[in-house]
Structure 1
C-alpha cells in the first residue's frame, strides 16, 4: 500500500463504529513497532503475534488499520486496483489503460480483512463460475478475501489453529503479491498485496516451523504486570466506551502526527542505505544462529531500513539492527520441539558477539 502526503487528515474520522486509537494503546511496544515497520515496507513479510488472551492483539491491529490514510483506487474495482501502478492493478484495469482509456478513480480506506477460522479455500481465494464461463465465454470470477485484502491488511486471529494448507496459500500470496485460481482448465489471477498479520495463543500450539519461518517478523506480547499500567489501561478503555467521540478528539493530534510520520517514512525508505560492512555482519549473525535459508538476512535488512526511515534518518546504524534483530530472527532458530519460541536472549547474545558490543549496553 502506498500513501500520499495529501491523504493525511486533521479532523476526526467519521466511522459507523468508533475504533480505539492506536496512539492510546499502552505498552506492547514490540508488537506496535513490528506492525508499523510492515506498513512502511510491506515486503518485510507480515507479523506473527503470539501472546496471552486479552492482551489487545485484535484491538491494536484494528487501531492501526483505522489510523492509515485513504488510498487511490479504481472505482468499483473488486481488487482495489491502483490507478497508476500496473503491479497492483487487475488485468481488466491494465487492459483498459493500455487501450488508452482513463479509469474513474476514488478514495478508499485501507481495508482490514478478517479471515475466519472456518473459511474455505474458495472463500479465501475466490471461485470461478464454470457454467457461466462455458455458456457465455467469459471468465466469471467471484472474488474472495484475498481480492478484498489487496493493498490492505489481512488479519488471521488464532492462525495457529488454521488449516496448514490455507496458511500456505496466504503466505504464498503475501510473498508473490498475486493470487491465482485455476479450475477446469480456466485460470484467473489478480493482485493480492497485503500485510499479513497472524495472532495466536502459544498455549494452543504453534505453527509448523516451515510456515512460521515465512512470516517476516515474530512479536511476543504478555499481560501487563505493573498495577499502575493495568489501572491506566482499564481507565482508558472505560473512557472510550463511555464517550468514544470525546476520547477520539483527545488523541486526534497524536493520530495525525503518527499517520504523517508513516507517510513520510514510506517515501524516505527509497533513500535509506545500509553499509556493506553492516550487511555482512547481519549475514554473519544469521549464520552463527544457524538460521536456515536467507529469509532472515533479507528481512533483517529490510526491517532495519524501515526503522531508519521511520525515525527520519537515511543511514542504518548498529542500534537499528539491534532493535529489529530479535523480531526478525527469534522464530527462525532451530530448537528442541518441547521448547517455546526464544525470548530474544539468544539472538541478542549472538548480535553482541558479532557486532562487538557488551551485552549490558
Structure 2
C-alpha cells in the first residue's frame, strides 16, 4: 500500500485538535473536504482512526496507535526533505536579540548545520510548527494555544525580557521614570485591528492592569523601521519597548529608563513538536537552555515588582 503522507499529516492535525472545524482552519481546507480525506485514509488503512458523532471526535484504539507511528513517519519525512538532510527550520520575531543570540551560539556549536530562519509573529509560528513547517518556534505562548492544542508539542520558558521606557534625544538621563508622567506609546496593533497578535494581547492586559491609556502606533517591523519612526516623532512621550531594541536606541543617544512602579516582562518560550527529534533540533533546544542560563534570562534584574499576565504565568508552568 502506498500511504499518502499528506493524509497522514491531516490526520495528525485532526488528532491534535479532536475537532474538525479547528483542524480544517489550521490546514486551510474546508471541513467537508477534511472529513472526506479522513474517510479516504481509513479506507486505505482498513480500520477506523476516529470515532465521530455530531458533537465529539475521539481516537479509536487503532487511531491512538497509528498516531504514534504517524508522528515518527512525519519526523523522518521532514528530516529527509530538509536542506542537506540535516538542516533546521526556525522562526523568530523580527530582529529581537533572543533568537539571534541563540542562533549565534548554535552556529558556533554546530557549524555544519544549515539554518533556515524566518520572521513571523507568535501565532503564525505556532501554526507553522504544528503543521510541520517549522522545527523550532521562539514565541510568546498564549492560553489559547495551550487550550486548543493540548497534545502534539512541547515547550519551555526561555526568557523574561523586560520592557523599558525610551525617551527622546535630549531628554534628561535617569535610571527610572514613572509610567504616568508622560503618554506611553507602543509599536503594536490594538484589539480590533487586522494585525492584533500575541504581543497586542500582552500589551492590552498590561494597559488594563496598570491603568494606562497606551498610544498604539502600529507595528513598523524591523528595528530600522521603528527607529525611523522614532526620529520623526514629536517630544513629550515615552516608548514602551523590548529591552533588545531599547539598548539600540540608547546607542544613538535616546535615554532608556526602567518603569518605577512595575516592571513588565515579556515571556519568551521555545517550542517544538512532540516527536522523535532530529539531532539538530535537539541540539538547538540544548543550546537555547544554556544561553538562557548563562545570561540569567529567567531572573531579570528589576527595580520594581515583575509583571506579566496571570494567564501567561500559568501557561509557563504547564510543562
**Higher-strand-fraction structure:** 2
Normalising by structure 1, we get a TM-score of 0.23
Higher share in helix: 1
TM-score (norm 2): 0.25
